[in-house]
C-alpha cells in the first residue's frame, strides 16, 4: 500500500513540475526548464544552507524560492497537495542516491 500511494503522489507531481500554468508563474517557466526530469535538484542534500536565502532550507523552501523567483509565482503552502506531490516527484527522480545532508 505505501508503495502504491507514494507512486500515486509521484505521478501527481509530474504534471505540476512540467507545467508553467500549474506553478502559477507569470513568465511561462516550469521546473523542468531548468531541471529536465528532476536533474540537478539534489533533494538528497537537504536540509542545507542556501546562500540565496541566507539560511538552512528544506527542499520545500527551495521549491518555493524557485516558484517565487525564476517562475514568478506565489509558491505553495508547505502542507499543500501540490507541495507534497512536487517533493515526491523530485525525490523519485533521485532514487538510489545516498542522502548527504548539506552537500551539493
Beta carbons within 10 angstroms of residue 72's beta carbon: 15
Q: 55 forms bridges with which residues in the sheet? A: 50
Each residue of 25-68: pLDDT tens digit?
A: 899 999 999 998 788 888 888 999 999 999 999 999 999 999 99
Each residue of 85-99: pLDDT tens digit?
A: 999 999 998 877 766
Does the CA dihedral 89-90-95-101 come out positive or negative?
A: negative
pTM attached to this predicted model:
0.88
Beta carbons within 10 angstroms of residue 84's beta carbon: 16
Q: Count Cα neighbours of 63 within 13 Å in the Cβ-side half-sphere.
A: 27
Which domains are seen in the chain, by residue range?
2-92 (1.10.760.10)
Phi and psi angles of residue 96, each rounded to the nearest 5 degrees, phi first = 90, -5
User: Which residue has better confidence, 99 or 71?
Assistant: 71
Whether pLDDT at 1 is above 90: no
Amino acid at each position: 500500500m505505501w508503495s502504491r500511494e507514494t507512486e500515486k503522489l509521484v505521478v501527481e507531481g509530474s504534471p505540476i513540475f512540467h507545467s508553467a500554468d500549474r506553478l502559477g508563474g507569470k513568465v511561462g517557466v516550469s521546473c523542468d526548464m531548468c531541471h529536465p526530469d528532476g536533474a540537478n535538484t539534489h533533494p538528497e542534500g537537504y536540509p542545507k544552507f542556501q546562500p540565496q536565502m541566507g539560511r538552512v532550507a528544506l527542499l520545500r523552501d527551495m521549491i518555493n524560492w524557485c516558484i517565487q523567483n525564476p517562475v514568478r509565482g506565489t509558491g505553495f503552502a508547505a502542507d499543500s497537495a501540490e507541495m507534497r506531490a512536487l517533493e515526491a516527484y523530485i525525490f523519485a527522480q533521485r532514487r538510489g542516491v545516498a542522502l548527504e545532508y548539506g552537500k551539493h
